[in-house]
Amino acid sequence: MDLRKLILVLTFLGALVPFANTFYASYTVQRQQLMDATLDSNYAYASKLAKSTEDFLQASQLQLAYTAQLLATQMDDVGRLGGEATRLRMMSKSFNSITIFDATGKVLATSPEALGLQGRVLNSEAVKAALREKRPLISAPYQSATGNFIVFINHPIVSPAGQYLGAVGGAIYLQKENILDRLLGQHFYIDGSYLFVVDRQKRIIYHPDPQRIGDFVENNAVVDRVAAGESGKGAAVNSHGVSMLAGYAPVASTGWGIVAQRPQAATLAPLTELMQSTLYKALPAVLLTLAFLLWSARLISRPLRLLADGARKMDDPASAGDIRSVKSWYFESRELKKAMLMGIDAIQKSFSKLREDTATDPLTQLGNRRRMDDALRTFESQANTFSVISLDIDHFKAVNDTYGHDAGDEALRCLAQCMREACRAYDVPLRVGGEEFLILLPSTTLATATRVAERLRRAVEEMKIPKVGGITVSLGVANWPQSSFDIEAVLKTADEMLYASKRGGRNRVSVRPSGSDAASVRGA
């Protein structure tokens, strides 16, 4: 490519790159603002509905408490009980059905009577809990004796003398028209926004699609958090694979979680239209600017030619000196020269960072096997004696299974920090596997390395880790050339000593002295 064509290319880049960067930055900022506003709105809406639901549940319990007070002296009057059950259901509109039962769980009255429960003894978990606890309760969702998926709210009936007589309860039929529909069913938009409610077991108890009620929600971070009693906002993917922006809040008395969400695509649709309109209006000015730059490019050929020669070899460390020697006699070429020098500096820093990253374990920030190989080559080339401490976490699978992989990762990071604190500046701590670690100690005898290993073992045993509590490690120690003149054999010996510690009861240091077949075990 000749110089003129190169100048033209640079001219186009000089005009288009800033415009594209500004356009992209504007889009990114506005996109984030829209997403944040939607998340805040959904969080506020979910919090409001959680409060409204909590208020409804408290009001329902007050209604039941009032009815229980009225019935305390009328438990023998079946007709009166039936009338009161009908009155409560018709006046409050809070429940799909009302049931009054005695202290044995026998149904005395229901509304509507078509339920056919009169005289039957109820044995659902909700009724058993009411009879056992003898206090106001809101049940977890369950399948009732009549085949309905319900939530049962009850209040005990106590005589004036304080004797427990039974309870009055209201049922909300989750798969039929109910109070939750009226309370929560107004959150509908044509853009696909909706809300749903889950219980503590992440089972859906309200959803605009009735077919989803009773389903369990899996692999949804937002549902996991709200089912755990947290409130907040975040991105999620629904069961149809649609990216959603969700706000969530728990209902304190029941542990239910309300999630209000809107499709991310619907949130960003106005922004896409706005950016297209902006692009069309900005295009004439961009074209005029390009024409002016093309004309101006004829005046800057010599400095740009020299800079272009330097640009072709920017990965060469000597190119920075060549570019600095270019006599840039006008502002634009000086700025381009400065930018190229900055680019060279950034490239060289990126290469250095890349080399560092390839030798570093991303979780613990310890060295990896590449770092180990480099260190061993250095020790071998310098004929430098060194010791090896091989260690891994005892029962680490149990940590992951009991507390989760996040807690397991935190345990690995804490162990890595403990290793760094136990090491000297020139020691090489490494992570070589899942929970497998090495420490290379240059110019260190077997006895000294064993003392370091024991000190590290005690430090780990005393360390406290969030959620997990404490862990222990088993360690094996070897030395080059005391254990073997072959480096691979030294590493293998350290591993063998590690497994000797495992077999010996874990949480200990094992070392094979020179010329001995027996492992010497320290620690307990």
3-state secondary structure of 390: strand
Peptide bond into 263 cis (omega under 30): no
Of 209, 208, 207, 259, nearest to 230 by C-alpha is: 259
**CA dist list (Å): 343 to 137, 315, 356, 357, 372:** 68, 10, 20, 20, 32
Q: Does 462 participate in catalysis according to the annotation?
A: no
Q: What gap in Å lies between CA 167 and CA 301, rounded to an integer?
A: 95
DSSP state of 477: E
CA quadruple 80, 81, 85, 88: dihedral sign: positive
Q: What gap in Å lies between CA 473 and CA 61, rounded to an integer?
A: 54
- Cβ of 116: how many Cβ atoms within 10 Å? 12
Any residues with CB less than 8 A from the CB of 259 and at least 6 apart, and which? 46, 195, 196, 197, 198, 222, 223, 226, 246, 247, 248
Catalytically annotated residue among 54, 273, 356, 435: 435
Six-digit token pair at 27?
């889009």
Six-digit token pair at 277?
């309109």
Q: What gap in Å lies between CA 275 and CA 278, rounded to an integer?
A: 5
Please give the distance of CA 331 from its chain centroid, rounded to a whole number: 50
- Cβ of 53: how many Cβ atoms within 10 Å? 24
Six-digit token pair at 490?
């030294």
Cβ atoms of 136 and 212 closer than 8 Å: no
3-state secondary structure of 381: helix
- Cβ of 350: how many Cβ atoms within 10 Å? 10
Residue 368 sits at φ, ψ, to 5 deg, of -110, -165
Helices (H), 359-486: 369-381, 396-403, 405-422, 446-462
Query: Furthest-apart CA pair in the chain: how many Å?
Result: 109
Give CA torsion, residues 47, 52, 57, 59, to 10 deg.
Answer: 150
Please give the distance of CA 502 from its chain centroid, rounded to a whole number: 34
**CA dist list (Å): 489 to 208, 481, 494:** 66, 10, 9
Peptide bond into 303 cis (omega under 30): no
Any residues with CB less than 8 A from the CB of 234 and at least 6 apart, and which? 39, 221, 222, 225, 246, 248
Six-digit token pair at 22?
């500004």
Q: List, by residue number, the catalytic residues.
A: 435
